[in-house]
Each structure stands twice: as structure tokens, then as C-alpha cells.
Structure 1
């Protein structure tokens, strides 16, 4: 008996639509994910919150969100769109508004949700954290993500196929944990814990739900001795690059990954935490 080789579609997401949150910097993971999805044929809506980036040491992208979207449009397949909008996801109603905005910008449909955004800074050790720090990380990293998934799910009925949700977590469950970022670790750990429950809840709506731990990725937040030390903990001797987790996330959005759901997947190059 002979078997034909599986056909590999060069545009496996052609005709699909996606919302990627936290996609505001060329050096960031969100932008790399959006770039991959566009290269696979999808129409993509980029979410950004420039005030957050501007308040960080690395700063906001100097060219602004429209320039990033314009760059992605040069890669887009015929008929595919790249749009963008701001949202401060600390507001309780913002996640649902963002999902509605993204779906409207992309023709009324939303197939893929990538919740990549996160709050940076305003954190500390067990001795340093306070209620405001805990609440801030919970609101952005956890509450808004679950509300995004809720709003996305409400747009889908049972019997549909091709729905995808991908969230991002961190290394809080491995090695020595993240004792210096207690609020962040708690909030991101909650997403890992709820992945299976969300996957079960959305299975009959044709949606898979997975969470990716990308390990340390060089997005410009570490320099000097810290950068060199982290690099030494990788077997390959260098940090992860934004496109490393982006390739996994984009693949999870395709039909090839239709049987993978409820998983927390580590893609960290063998990082020795």
C-alpha cells in the first residue's frame, strides 16, 4: 500500500481572522506572533497600550502602531487585512470592547485569540509586594485575559470549527520559580491553571485553548551582565528570540494543531532555570 505525502499549505490561515494583544513593539513577542499569522494568510488585529510601553525602560516603539501595521500589510495575502486599536485592559469592560472592535475591523468574524499582553514592573518579593501590586497584576494579566476569552466565546456557537485561543504564561512552576516577581508569577500561574478548564468549556464551540511558556525571550528588557548570565543558562548559549515562541503560537492556530487542547506548552530552548 502506498501513502501520499501530506500536503502542506503555505497559507494555512488564509481566510481566518485573529486578535493579538500586546502587539505594539517590533522587538516584542506579540508583534512576532502577528507577523507569523499574517505570513500564514490571516487577517490580524493588533492591540496596543502605548502608555504602558512608554513607562518602561525600553520605551514605546518609536514609529508607532500604524507603522507596525503598515509593515505587516506588505506581507499580507490578497484580501487579508491588518488593523489595530488601543485598549487599556485594566478597565473591566475593555476586553469585551476590544473583541468587538477587532471583530468589526476584520469583517465581523474572529477565529483566533492570542492573549499575549502583560503588565511589566510594579512587582517584588514576598516582603515587598502589597495589595495594589497584586491587584494590578491580577487585573491585567489574569482578569482581562479571562474576560477576553469570555467575549470571544460569546461570539461563537456550537458546531463551529477552527476556533483557537492561545494564552501566555511564564516560568513560575519550574526550577526555583520567580521569587522576585511574586505578583506576576501568581497572575500568570493562574492562566496556566485555568487552561484545562477553559479548554473543556469551549470544546463544543470548536475552540482549542492552549497556553505557551516561552521562557526568557530577548525583547530588550535585559542588558549587560544580566543579559549575559541569562544567556549562559541556555544550552545553546543564547536567549530565545521573539520568533521562537511565535512559530509555536502560529502553528497552534492552524488545523494541524486541531487535536491539541488544554495544554501548557513550554518552548524555551532547554532553559536551565
Structure 2
């Protein structure tokens, strides 16, 4: 880290040790960042993988072992008050925030004919509205040197059969890419990363084999792949990359 004193990053969506968010926290800690991260256990309770009760402690300990100070905040990002709470708690525990990494998501499969209004609204509240509010709060609080600030969000190009997730992620893309222009006065870069299919425990053996067959590099993605790119984008060396939607998927998208 070229900036000297350990800067602070907020990473959202760090509920499971197997997830991309956990890999990002560990990677950033090893790269010299202090980290505040969010998690929301009721979401995991609704999903097939279930709650990871050891995640908060294990992720915290792994980051601390790499020299990071850590603040973990349980936050329901469907609430409009949550982004302000997250930044207030991280700021109180670690200081001003230099980077925001949004890895959170509401993701429940449904299609045009069977998506409920409740599900649609929840997806947009978490994936789009919360992301806008997090970006806004980050910008309002930002006080670090010009050119040092970073925003990165994880996205997806899912549509058919995963409509509310894909549609709300499309809205997220526009929010973050707008930030690259609208936050120019702060010198904050803003980019979106599409990691493609990443094995975080949701793929069965047959689907995993299909992904490997369709990916030129012959394997499915792992959380560390996304973490490596995001760590670069947050670094001083990544500061010239701005306003981009990047694919980090081993060529999966190119093979379609």
C-alpha cells in the first residue's frame, strides 16, 4: 500500500466464509487496509446454504492476523437507515473511509410470470437503493486525499429466470458508473466488476462441470479471483481505471 498509514475500506455482504466478500476482506487486510464489513444473517437463513455462525469471528480473526483493525456491522441493507449506521460505526471504530466495496446482494431466482411484488421490491431495495445510499454516504463523508478514493461493486448479467436480481444489478451498474463522473470533484474512482459464475457453495457437480466446459481457462471462478482484481482497483496502481464495467471470469462471457 503506497499511501503510508493503513487506509479504511468498507466491504458489504460478508456473511459467509465461503463467499466473495470474505475473500475480499482477507485480501485487503493483507494489502494493508483496515476493514469494516457488513453481514446480515437473516438473509442466509432464507437461503439453501443456511447461516454460517462462525463467519464473523473467523473472518475478523483472519483479517487481524494480517495486521488489520476490523469492525463488523450486522446491517439489513433493505432498511434506508442501514448505510448511515454502517458508516457511523466504521468511522467510530476505524476512522474515515477511503474505499467502498459492495459485495452484498439479494438473490432469489424467479421469472417474469412468477416474481412477486414483494420480492421485486426487496431486490431493488437491497441491490439498487442500498447501493445508491452507500455511495452517497461514502461521498458525503469522504475526506481523504484527491485521487485516493475508490468505489467498486460486484454485479451480474443474469436476466431470464433470475429477473429481479438481474434487473436490480443493472440499476446498480448505472449508480456506480454515474459515480465515476459525479464524484470527480473528490477524485474518487468507481468501477463495476462482473465475476461470472463463482463457486461459493451454490453450484452442484453437474452445473460446475458445465461452467468449466464453457470457460476457456477450464475451471469455475473462486472468490479469490474477484478479490485479486478488487485489491488492484483499490490500490494506487489501479487508480487510472475508472468508470468501467470489468469482467473477471476467465473468459466465460467471451465464450457465449
TM-score, structure 2 normalization: 0.93
Matched residue SS, 2:237: helix
Superimposed CA distance per residue, residues 109-139 of structure 1 (whole angstroms, 9 cap, x where no aligned partner)? 1001001100122x31111113222111000
Paired with 1:182 and 1:59, the residues of 2 have a C-alpha distance of 23
Aligned partner of 1:170 in structure 2 is 156
Offset of residue 158 of structure 1: 9.0
Paired with 1:263 and 1:127, the residues of 2 have a C-alpha distance of 33
Aligned partner of 1:213 in structure 2 is 194
Contact kept in structure 2, 1:12 and 1:254, CA below 8 Å: no
Offset of residue 14 of structure 1: 5.1
Paired with 1:26 and 1:73, the residues of 2 have a C-alpha distance of 15
Contact kept in structure 2, 1:13 and 1:254, CA below 8 Å: no
| 2:247 pairs with 1:266 | yes
Superimposed CA distance per residue, residues 120-176 of structure 1 (whole angstroms, 9 cap, x where no aligned partner)? 22x31111113222111000011001100001100125963311110111124xxxx
Contact kept in structure 2, 1:14 and 1:40, CA below 8 Å: no
Contact kept in structure 1, 2:197 and 2:221, CA below 8 Å: yes
Aligned partner of 1:175 in structure 2 is none
Contact kept in structure 2, 1:66 and 1:84, CA below 8 Å: no
Aligned partner of 1:94 in structure 2 is 82
Contact kept in structure 1, 2:75 and 2:82, CA below 8 Å: yes
Aligned partner of 1:225 in structure 2 is 206
| 2:150 pairs with 1:139 | no
Offset of residue 55 of structure 1: 2.1
Offset of residue 237 of structure 1: 2.1
Paired with 1:157 and 1:15, the residues of 2 have a C-alpha distance of 15
Paired with 2:197 and 2:110, the residues of 1 have a C-alpha distance of 18
- Change in Cα spacing, 1:75 to 1:149, as seen in structure 2 (3 Å) is same
Paired with 2:15 and 2:175, the residues of 1 have a C-alpha distance of 26
**Any gaps of 5 or more consecutive residues in structure 2?**
none
Aligned partner of 1:81 in structure 2 is 69
| 2:140 pairs with 1:154 | yes
- Change in Cα spacing, 1:156 to 1:218, as seen in structure 2 (3 Å) is same
Aligned partner of 1:4 in structure 2 is none
Matched residue SS, 2:196: coil
Which segment is superposed worse, 42-51 or 61-70?
Answer: 61-70
**Any gaps of 5 or more consecutive residues in structure 1?**
1-8, 173-177
| 2:164 pairs with 1:183 | yes
Contact kept in structure 1, 2:27 and 2:228, CA below 8 Å: yes
Contact kept in structure 2, 1:24 and 1:46, CA below 8 Å: no
Superimposed CA distance per residue, residues 15-39 of structure 1 (whole angstroms, 9 cap, x where no aligned partner)? 1100100112111000111111000
Matched residue SS, 2:72: strand
User: Which structure 1 residue ranges, 4+ long, deviate > 4 Å from structure 2?
Assistant: 11-14
Q: Give aligned pairs, total.
A: 254
Which of the residues 97, 100, 121 maps onto 1:110? 97
Superimposed CA distance per residue, residues 160-207 of structure 1 (whole angstroms, 9 cap, x where no aligned partner)? 3311110111124xxxxx301010010001122233311111111121
